Amino acid sequence: MIPDRIPGLGTIPPDCHDDFESIEIGGGGRFRVGLDGVVAILVPRDKKTELIVFPDKTLVYVRSALGYPAIYPLEEAKFEPPAKAVLMDLDGTSVRSEEMWMWLIERTVATLLNEPDFHFVPEDFPHVAGHSISEHLAYCIEKYCPFATLEQAREIYYELVAREMKEIEEGRGHAEAFHPAPYLKEFLLELKAHGVKIGLVTSGLFEKAWPEILAAFRTMGMGNPLEFYDSIISAGTALRKGQVGTLGELEPKPHPWLYAETAAVGLGIGSEDRCRVAGIEDSSAGVVAVRLAGFYSIGVAGGNYVAGGVRAFVNAECQTLADALPILLGR
């Protein structure tokens, strides 16, 4: 049974009840309904997390395809406009690019299978967008090519990425795959005009993230993104043989750390001002990450947060970025 109210989320709208599956045992066997105060264990449709519901609190168990789950408290998100800072997702929210990344993952699987005509089916989409590349590839290996290793898949994927990104940075290739979301320029300039700090947050690696935001800024005629954003946090650099990698594959969205680091370290926002910060997302993983970091979440249409079953995590919904301005500026 889905509770009508979940601590940390509040009242669950009737049309969101079907977003969750109720299970008896969760958290890798650590929790059971009816024991130690657990009243429900709920799994959203994307199956990336579990809500361990108690009468007075909710814990979120983040599953891991790589064997490193984590548990976080889910706090109520409060927002007091006008915003002091806005945290923005990159893929889908700021730049329409998901099709490109899904295509590269699809081509990776096609290469592993030696089937050039391979294509994903719609049920694959929530599992190949919004999370880390290792999570995406682990899903593909389990479903389509169990004979392959994650290392083999990563090697093929990063070879494809390096080739495509080099072409785009040099003004060739699939640059048209990276185009600004509707009203992105107007949205960013309006926030700047009101003195709002802006952080760009992505689970994507730097080598992926930089070419796409650069391409979008070129299209908008806005110059260097590094001179515009107050902070940009990515998942770092990929680990490859003979090279140094950075932390990014085990703690991406829906973990809270990218958003927490952007706010606390990148923008210098203290916990006392958390109520003056909002995060804007279009993916299920991103929406959960914003909320686990303790921030008010705004869901923008076009992503998979509705299909992923985490609409209950969203504090406000907008069709476009322009629609979020009245919420953020309190007008």
H or E element at residue 129: none
Quote the pLDDT of residue 9. 95
Give the distance, in angstroms, between the CA of residue 177 and the centroid of all CA atoms in the same chain.
19
Is residue 17 scored above 70 in pLDDT? Answer: yes
CB contact at 8 A, 16 and 312: yes
Q: Which CATH class is domain 85-97+179-329?
A: alpha beta
Is residue 38 scored above 90 in pLDDT? Answer: yes
What residues are paired with 20 via a beta bridge? Answer: 44
Q: If you count DSSP H runs as helices and E runs as strands, how many of each does the chain have, helices first?
A: 9, 17
Confidence of residue 267 (pLDDT cuts 50, 70, 90): very high
Highest average pLDDT, of 35-39, 161-165, 232-236, comes from 35-39
What residues are paired with 25 via a beta bridge? Answer: 32
SS3 305: coil
Is residue 173 scored above 80 in pLDDT? Answer: no
Amino acid in the structure at residue 3? P
Quote the pLDDT of residue 130. 67
> CA distances (Å), 264 to each of 30, 142, 154, in order?
31, 37, 31
Short-list 250, 272, 104, 231, CA closest to 178: 104
Quote the pLDDT of residue 248. 81
> CA distances (Å), 105 to each of 54, 65, 222, 255, 260, in order?
39, 17, 30, 22, 28
Quote the pLDDT of residue 246. 85
Residue 83 DSSP label: P
- Provide φ and ψ at 329, rounded to 5°: -95, -5
- How many other CB atoms are found less than 10 A from the CB of residue 168? 21
Is residue 215 scored above 90 in pLDDT? Answer: no
Is residue 256 scored above 70 in pLDDT? Answer: yes
Confidence of residue 35 (pLDDT cuts 50, 70, 90): very high
Is residue 270 scored above 80 in pLDDT? Answer: yes
Scanning the structure block, which residue is given the tokens 């045992």?
A: 25
Confidence of residue 241 (pLDDT cuts 50, 70, 90): confident
Confidence of residue 171 (pLDDT cuts 50, 70, 90): low
CB contact at 8 A, 306 and 319: no
Is residue 290 scored above 90 in pLDDT? Answer: yes
Rounded to an integer, the average pLDDT of 85-95 is 95
SS3 125: helix
β 197-201/179-180 pair status: unpaired
Is residue 282 scored above 70 in pLDDT? Answer: yes
